[in-house]
Structure 1
Amino acid sequence: LDERSGMLHFPYFVDEEEENPGPQPLGQGLTEYVLRTGQSLLASPEVFADLEEKGEVVSIGPPSIDWLGVPLKIGGRVIGVLTVQSYTEGVRYTEEEKNVLTFIAEQVAMAIERKRATYALSQSEKQIRALIEAIPASIYFKDTEGRNIVINRAYEKLVGKERKDMIGKTDTEILPPTLAEECRKSDQKVLQTGKTYQGEEGLLHQNGEMTFFETTKSPILDENGDIVGLVGVSRDITERKKTEEALEESEERYRDLVEKAGIAILIDDRGGNFKYVNKRYAQLFGYSEEELESQSIHSVVHPDDIDMVLRYHNKRIQGKKAPSRYEFKGVKKDGTPIYLEVDAKAIKRGKRVVGTRSYIWDITARKMAEERLKASLLEKEVLLREIHHRVKNNLQIISSLLNLQSRYIQDEPSLDMFQESRQRVRSMALVHEKLYRSEDMARIDFCEYLKSLASHLFMSYGVNSASVELDVDVNGVYLDINTSIPCGLIVNELVSNSLKHAFSGREKGKIRIVLQPENKNKFKLVVSDDGVGLPRSLDVLNTDSLGLQLVTMLVEQLQGTLSIERNHGTSFEIVFQGAFK
């Protein structure tokens, strides 16, 4: 019976009535009945008829007079049936033949079992040998005397000798003396203690190259538990050793570089606990490296900045955006504050952030210098504001003196001249006033300046803003003091001229001031009115008017150009180089 396929085979079949039927599925014949019940059967025609009537069997093949079958058993398991049958009336079977056939069946079953066991052992040995040969590691079996019994191809390659030259020999006969002695000692340890041995060994080849291998040796026990040998597995780890040595060398170079570079380095975990600090980091905070092994971020960050540092750290751990480089205040072991700059990066294993690596620089000296510089700048700013304030006050005194002096002047031309001089002084004082009131001491908002200047001029000349409209078109223009004063004087002269002469005999008028940036840091200043206009015979460059002479001189001071339009009033256009926009 083939248990895997469930087919019934007839390896030995002799019958005078029919030929060997070959493999066939199990049916309900007498043979199958014995297989099913596991009992011997002597089936006379009467017994067969009774079994057939009960539905246990059916008739298969030519009818026989007697049929005798006994099971082939191995360990209580039925593996087949041994049968004989008679087609002759005078040839009948009895219990005696049944007993004889049972005895024969037992012997046949034992023979089959031995053959099966021998075959299975042979197949197992082949499979084990094939497996041993296929394994890339070196495998060998030794007896209690240390002689090689079995070795694989990998072991041949490792040692550099053929199998026939190593079987039956000890390590002393095939390996270099030093390695052979190491192997002998580890063999004896396994054979004497019965415990598994693990270690690393090295083999120097004739070409001078060294092969390193990792070896595991285990005892071989017989059925009684006695040690009869050992099995060894040696795996070539030469490449791993070279990689480890290269890594150690690289780490040593990196460590040496890091220490000599003077950069403090910290590696911490997700909770901010220190996992590694270098010597410079320990020196920075006044600790020993050993002391910092049990510390965390809280130990070295000043209370003023701990919330910020922890917030950035937690964001980085969570994979969120956080500044990688920033400044914070630290604290040394003795409590001394220290200013630091850090460059922090997340450390990942796969997709998970497991900690951070930080590079830290001491910027205390720089911060202290910055503080001193800020204090110095603040002091200079205060001083500069005071200077502008005093200049403005002095100019205001001059303006007041001119005003007082003008009260003693009786002729109109001289009085106008004093008044004009006073307005010029006022325009310069206004620049200094704007500067000391401004947050930016280097420049002023020229739009605000022009509005203040024009408003003062309208008031000085007693002009009603309802009769003369003022339009100031200056947006986002800032000028330094060297540009603001001449520009202010020019506007003062031109607006004053318009207020005095442009609208004689008229109830309404308009003055327009425009200052706009041009290309290449140039500005265009336009002061115009819709009044009676300048006489066409008037040459601005050759005139007795002090005001127009002053305008011409100030344009030259600005290295600018001046052009005049006389249509529908008068328009002065000045283009000059500006310092700020």
Structure 2
Amino acid sequence: MTEMPEAGINSPNADTGSPQAGKSRTDLTFIAVLTVLMAVLAAVYHSQYRFSFFEFLPYGLFWVAVCFGGYVYRRWREAQAIFKQYADADFREQPQSGIGTWKWDIVTDTLEWSDEVYQIFGVVKGRFLPSYQEFLKLVHPEDRFYVQEIVATSLRENTPYAIDHRIVTPAGDVRIVSEQGSVSFQDGRPVSMMGVATDATERKQTETELRDRFSLLQSLIDAIPIPVYHKDQNGIYEGCNKAFEDFARASKEEIIGKTMYDFLPPEFAGPQDNMDKALFRQGGVQTYEKTILTSDGEKHNVMYHKAALLKPDGSPAGLIGTILDISERKRMEVALKESEQRFRNIAQSASDWFWETDRDHRFSFLSDRVKDMLGVPAHIVLGKTRKEIVSEEQQESDPEKWQRHFDDLENHRPFRDLVYVFSSDGKEEHHIRINGVPVFNENGEFRGYQGTGTDITGQKRVEEALRESEERHRDFAADVAHELRTPLAVLRTHLDNLNDTKEVQSLRQDVD
């Protein structure tokens, strides 16, 4: 770029032999002559009218101000001319590729473009004569009024402007041009504008692609049902998703630019801030549970998952995190523990025990009551099927019963009152009655059986004792009847030999 020398009094770059230097010496000589003449006139007036020095001083100062004020003004105008000269030279010698300069003479409505501007607008230098109206013809029809309004405002208010607008080249290509311009005034009227033009098509396309990708990413983040947010290294929120807005009870505009101290009391925000700082120091990821207080005053149990964001040099740039509200899960865990405890209490106090089998009908759970009832630890039975713990003799003694039971299992049907004998050591036998129902998951897939078992050994012993007692009573009654019937039969025979008297007939009836 052409260097511009300074213009003015005592300019270190001024050439003493230049025209400007000659003009400067002429002006100073002229001012000196006039000053001497002024002094002579003052002496004459003093001799005739007896003006004192102090009476003449204001006129002298006024004279000096006029002389040197005019001198300074002329030097300023010369400096402006020099600046314009070098600005025009700099305009013509613009070396930067892709960036062009332009100058518009408003009075003559002529445009002067650098070679880069011709390339940007897709026109051939020499064939295209630039003017403001010709320039407007190249502006995209949808942007033309906007460009005119911007230029008119700049001319009216004497303000620079910077805009992006589309153009249509003679070949039909649509490009995006970034323009900057400033206006020059003379005597209160705009006389010219100067500026630069840049082909911003690729930059705008890149910005559009990035904006579209960001919009897609933001849409994906908003679709995530759990709160997502990211902060800078100072803990200031830079972005979040819709779920985080709902969780914070605030809009995105109210969140961005704030810290957690704006939403949480210090006793809750302080520990969180310390965790963030620890993540910045250590890097990596961070996962932990915490009880927080939301803006509406409710306490929530949440699970934090955070990851540090790093700059290219490895220093912390911020963090991204998610918040999983596990309050409902915590309540369910408490309810489940209470339910399990109730189940254990019932199982311990009940006379029955509970059992479960998997999809292969192998025992997967037995309540502790089974040990008290049968005297066998649960692990002895776990992993086995009922077919494996029932002796073959039992299965062969009543094959129809066991075939029905195994058919029920294979077809996943409930069953009741299945009775069999269980013996863990082959000596002590327990009579067991079991009931079971099939279990299916939410997809209808078979998962196994659940049921209860009852030790009916005592009941079986009572039934056996009753049966034996009944048989003994039945045998005794038969024996007594037999013993009674024998003498009565002899007596009847003798009576048949007697005369058939009324007394005998009466006795016969009594015997019968």
What is the TM-score when the length of structure 2 is the normalising length? 0.53
1:149 aligns with 2:241: no
Q: Does 1:367 align with 2:460?
A: yes
Tell me if the contact between 2:264 and 2:295 (Cα under 8 Å) persists in the aligned partners: no
- The match for 1:315 is 407
Cα deviation, 1:528-557, whole Å, max 9, x if unaligned, reads xxxxxxxxxxxxxxxxxxxxxxxxxxxxxx
- Structure 1 residues not aligned, in runs of 5+: 1-10, 23-79, 85-106, 407-413, 429-581
Structure 2 counterpart SS, 1:370 = helix
Larger RCO (CA within 8 A; separation ≥ 6)? 2
- Alignment-derived partner of residue 344 in structure 1: 436
Question: For residue 302 of structure 2, what is the aligned residue in structure 1?
Answer: 213
User: Counterpart of 1:216 in structure 2: which amino acid?
Assistant: H
Alignment of 1:129-208 (within 5 A): 129-133=218-222, 135-160=224-249, 166-171=255-260, 174-177=263-266, 179-180=268-269, 183-184=272-273, 186-188=275-277, 190-191=279-280, 194-205=283-294
1:186, distance to aligned residue in structure 2 (A): 4.9
State the Cα deviation string for residues 97-142 of structure 1 (Å, max 9, x = none).
xxxxxxxxxx98x632111111222333344445545544222111
**1:92-103 → structure 2 map (5 Å cutoff):** none
Counterpart residue number, 2:357? 268
Q: Which residue of 1 aligns with 2:449?
A: 356
> How has the CA–CA distance of structure 1 residues 352 and 168 changed in structure 2, closer, same or farther, with 3 Å as cutoff?
closer
| Matching residue of 1:457 | none
Q: Distance in 2 between matches of 1:328 and 1:237?
A: 47
Q: Give the match's secondary structure for 2:365.
A: strand
CA contact (8 A) 1:179 1:201 kept: no
- TM-align CA RMSD: 4.3
Q: Say if 1:128 and 1:212 are closer, same or farther in 2 by CA, change over 3 A.
A: same
Deviation string 1:137-161 (CA, Å, 9 cap, x unpaired) is 2221112343322234543443456
The equivalent residue for 1:253 is 342
For residue 367 of structure 1, what is the amino acid of its counterpart? K
Secondary structure, in 3 states, of the residue corresponding to 1:262?
Answer: coil
CA 280–300 in structure 1, closer or farther in 2 if over 3 Å, else same:
farther
Distance 1:397 1:246, change over 3 A: same
> Alpha-carbon deviation of 1:336?
0.8
> Which residue pairs with 1:390 in the alignment?
483
Alignment of 1:495-510 (within 5 A): none
Aligned mates of 1:267, 1:324 — CA distance in 2: 15
Asked if structure 1 preserves the Cα contact closer than 8 Å seen for 2:123 and 2:169, the reply is no
Q: Do the aligned residues in 2 keep the contact of 1:304 with 1:329 (CA within 8 Å)?
A: no
**Counterpart residue identity of residue 289, structure 2:** E
**Conserved? CA contact 2:414–2:437, under 8 Å:** no
Contact 1:266 1:276 in 2 (8 A): yes
Query: 1:352: Cα distance to partner?
Result: 3.3
SS of the equivalent of 2:309 reads strand
Q: Distance between the aligned counterparts of 1:211 and 1:177, measured in 2?
A: 16
Larger helix share, 1 or 2: 2
> 113-122 or 197-206: which moved more?
197-206
Q: Give the letter for the 1:362 counterpart.
A: D
Structure 2, gaps ≥5 residues long: 1-120, 129-136, 141-167, 173-196
Deviations 1:407-464 (A, max 9, x none): xxxxxxx3577996798589x4xxxxxxxxxxxxxxxxxxxxxxxxxxxxxxxxxxxx
Distance (whole Å) between structure 1 residues aligned to residue 342 and residue 483 of structure 2: 65
Q: 1:283/1:178 Cα in 2 relative to 1: closer, same or farther (>3 Å)?
A: farther
Residues 222-258 of structure 1 show CA distances to partners (whole Å, capped at 9, x for unaligned) of 6788763221121333233323322332232232222
Residue 325 of structure 2 corresponds to residue 232 of structure 1: no
Deviation at 1:372, TM superposition (A): 0.9
Of all paired residues, the percent bearing the same amino acid is 22
- Does residue 305 (structure 1) correspond to residue 397 (structure 2)? The answer is no
Q: 2:207 matched to 1:123? A: no
Equivalent of residue 112 in structure 1, options 192, 197, 201 = 201
User: How far apart in 2 are the matches of 1:333 and 1:198?
Assistant: 52
1:359 CA drift (Å) = 0.9
Cα distance in structure 1, aligned partners of 2:260 and 2:410 = 58
Closer/same/farther in 2, CA of residues 184 and 370 from structure 1, 3 Å limit: same
Counterpart residue type for residue 231 of structure 2: K
* Match status 1:324 vs 2:416: yes
CA positional deviation for 1:382: 0.8
Identify the range of structure 1 (259-268 vs 303-312) with the bigger mean alpha-carbon deviation. Answer: 303-312
- Please state whether the residue corresponding to 2:411 is helix, strand or coil: coil
- Offset from partner CA, 1:454-495 (integer Å, 9 cap, x none): xxxxxxxxxxxxxxxxxxxxxxxxxxxxxxxxxxxxxxxxxx
- Matched residue type, 1:394: P
Aligned mates of 1:247, 1:280 — CA distance in 2:
21
